[in-house]
Amino acid sequence: MTLKPDDEVSIVACPDGPLLVRGDVPILTPDGEPLPRRRRTVALCRCGKSTIKPYCDGTHKTIGFRTEPELPA
């Protein structure tokens, strides 16, 4: 299967922040129900403190969430 540029999906781990998910990929509940999604790019919380999980609400900034440094490839 060849993806067209508009179909490409990427996930970017932001330093000290969320995972940015770009592309047409469903975000599901543990029961498999699709969550509402209004944008092509969404931020998923990885600090665990967002009030709108699984989405990021910016709380990572106020709690000083820090990620581990990237390992060299």
Strand order in the sheet with 41-44: 10-13, 19-22, 41-44
Does 45 contact ligand FES by CB under 6 A?
yes
Q: Which amino acid is at 49?
A: K
**Which one of residues 26, 32, 46, 70 is an interface residue with ligand FES (CB under 6 A)?**
46
Does 22 contact ligand FES by CB under 6 A?
no
Beta bridge partners of 34: 28
Does 49 contact ligand FES by CB under 6 A?
yes
Does 42 contact ligand FES by CB under 6 A?
no
Residues near ligand FES (CB under 6 A): 17-18, 45-47, 49-50, 56-60
